[in-house]
Amino acid sequence: MSLTIDTFNSYANSKKYLYFQIKANEINKDILSEMEENSLPIEINICVDRSGSMHGNKITNVIDTLNFLVEQLRDKDKLGLVIFDDRIENIPPEYMTSINKIKMRKVINNIYSRGNTNISGACDECIKMFSNDKSNSIKVMLLLTDGIANKGIINSKELIDTFTPMLMKDEISLHTFGYGSDHDPVLLGELAKNCNGIYSYIKSKEDVIISFANCLGGIFSMCAKNIEFTLKLNPGIKYEIMAPDKKIIYDKDSNESLVVIGDISQDEYRDFVVSFSNDDDPDNLSIGKYSIKYEDLINKSSSVLTFDINIISVTDDTKLTISQKAQFYDVLCRIDTINKIALIESISSVNKDKMIKDIVDDFIERVNHIKEKFTDYPEHLAIFEEYINTINNILKIKDNLDAKYIMRECSNGLSSQTSDGRTDSTRRYKSGGRDKMIERANKHFDFKINTARDHLGIDIDDPHEIAFFSRS
């Protein structure tokens, strides 16, 4: 079994809670390469924006990124491209053998900018290129763009509503990458969130390295996919699943809820809490069942596990270990952060600054109250300090897109923790597979820069010379 499920109940703020954690089992780093080599084949199809606004460093970064991606793929993996502006050019998927890699690099190095931005047409063509086999491969789509759709479907909500069901139906995860400050963060953020992917804002070469290593490392070290959690509590028990970053389907007649978890990579975990009330029968400590269904990519099997929920009668959190307390309050702070960020984003009144200050002050007061529980435990105290720093940093950013990106990344990514327990955005890629891919990416780009400097006499600070070098 590639997943472990941990649960306990707690009591805080006069409410009863269940805590659930779904974690990928630890994998010996020595066998990570073997796991990567023996994992399911990967189908990657990429929509590449070549519109006129992508000229210069943007298209150079895209070309560098695609060449790095080609290097990482194995003979059994397939790669296809949809290169688009107002016209669409398809490069059908091919297995990444040595010969096909050479062919693909030639195509990539000849991408140049021109025309308008037909995102809908490109996405439609890209989805059509995937095979119909859902069980024997991992399907991933990447969307690389710097602009706002101005041809085809141009309304963001319509684009989201059109392509989310298409991607989910075919079990295709979507990762989106916005280049520069003119792209549509709502469109890219929502598409990625809805389709088990990550949205990244690319401003520099460093962002390219981290974002794509994050994405590819997670794909290559994936342990389980299509994870669904079902909670069924006894009749009469009222409950609320507190997971604002996850899709939840509730059936009132059966008192049953389905939580769509998505995919988990090596060393990652997902957690959430459920507030509940069993006041009508407080002495009954058996309150229901939960089950988890997923595809085990390590053992190449499908699993459905069902467990009874037996709570411990508590009136406070004194029966929890300090680690359990930290996990529990971490989730509460994360949910509060996500809700506060959504509230800040929605404010449009003339008293915006004062309203935001009131929201932040309330948040900081609540987190400081939680911090008092961990005064003697600095390793846990630091977790809650970072929540305060996250909110404060958002307020300091003058670049509107930067602020929106950090807010959306915080909202979409805070549930993608890894076992090092960090709460800043870096924890999203601090798993063994992602660390390894970041190391590869750094070597790839360092090699190119050092070659330019030492052997070709190219000024690495001159974007025109770097652009020339990237195409050579």
- Whether residue 395 is contained in a domain is answered as yes
* Domain span at 398: 322-427
Would you tell me the crossing angle of helices 432-454 and 463-471 to the nearest 10 degrees? 110
- Whether residue 317 is contained in a domain is answered as no
Q: How many CB atoms lie within 10 A of CB 227?
A: 21
- Whether residue 315 is contained in a domain is answered as no
Query: What pLDDT shows up at residue 469?
Result: 35
- Whether residue 7 is contained in a domain is answered as yes
Give the residue from 252, 278, 288 showing the smallest Cα distance to 20: 288
Given a contact cutoff of 8 angstroms between Cβ atoms, the answer to whether 135 and 226 are in contact is no
Number of domains in the chain: 3
pLDDT tens, position by position, for the chain (472 residues)? 578 888 888 877 677 888 898 888 776 666 556 666 667 889 999 999 998 888 888 888 888 889 988 988 999 999 999 999 989 999 999 999 999 999 999 999 999 888 888 999 999 999 999 988 766 788 999 999 987 888 889 888 899 999 999 998 888 999 999 887 778 888 888 888 888 888 888 877 777 777 887 788 888 778 888 899 999 998 888 899 988 767 788 988 888 999 988 888 877 788 888 988 877 776 677 889 999 999 888 777 888 989 888 877 655 556 778 888 888 888 888 888 777 777 776 776 667 778 878 888 888 898 898 899 898 998 888 888 888 887 777 666 555 555 555 555 554 444 343 333 333 333 333 345 556 666 666 666 565 445 444 444 444 444 433 333 333 3
> Which CATH number belongs to the domain containing residue 48 in this structure?
3.40.50.410
- The contacts of residue 72 (CB under 8 Å, 6+ apart) are 216, 220, 437, 440
C-alpha–C-alpha distance, residues 258 and 188, integer Å: 25
In this structure, the answer to whether residues 84 and 122 fall within a common structural domain is: yes
C-alpha–C-alpha distance, residues 385 and 379, integer Å: 11
Q: How many CB atoms lie within 10 A of CB 86?
A: 15
- Whether residue 378 is contained in a domain is answered as yes
Query: What pLDDT shows up at residue 70?
Result: 92
What's the one-letter identity of residue 34?
Answer: E
In this structure, the answer to whether residues 194 and 123 fall within a common structural domain is: yes
In this structure, the answer to whether residues 167 and 271 fall within a common structural domain is: no
In this structure, the answer to whether residues 194 and 327 fall within a common structural domain is: no
In this structure, the answer to whether residues 133 and 156 fall within a common structural domain is: yes
What's the one-letter identity of residue 427?
Answer: R
In this structure, the answer to whether residues 37 and 21 fall within a common structural domain is: no
Secondary structure of residue 427 in the 3-state scheme: helix
- Whether residue 72 is contained in a domain is answered as yes
Q: What are the residue ranges of helices labelled H in 76-204?
A: 98-109, 119-128, 156-169, 185-194
In this structure, the answer to whether residues 134 and 216 fall within a common structural domain is: yes
Q: How many CB atoms lie within 10 A of CB 112?
A: 12
Give the residue from 186, 129, 131, 130 showing the smallest Cα distance to 161: 186
Indicate yes or no: pTM above 0.75.
no
- Whether residue 63 is contained in a domain is answered as yes
- Whether residue 89 is contained in a domain is answered as yes
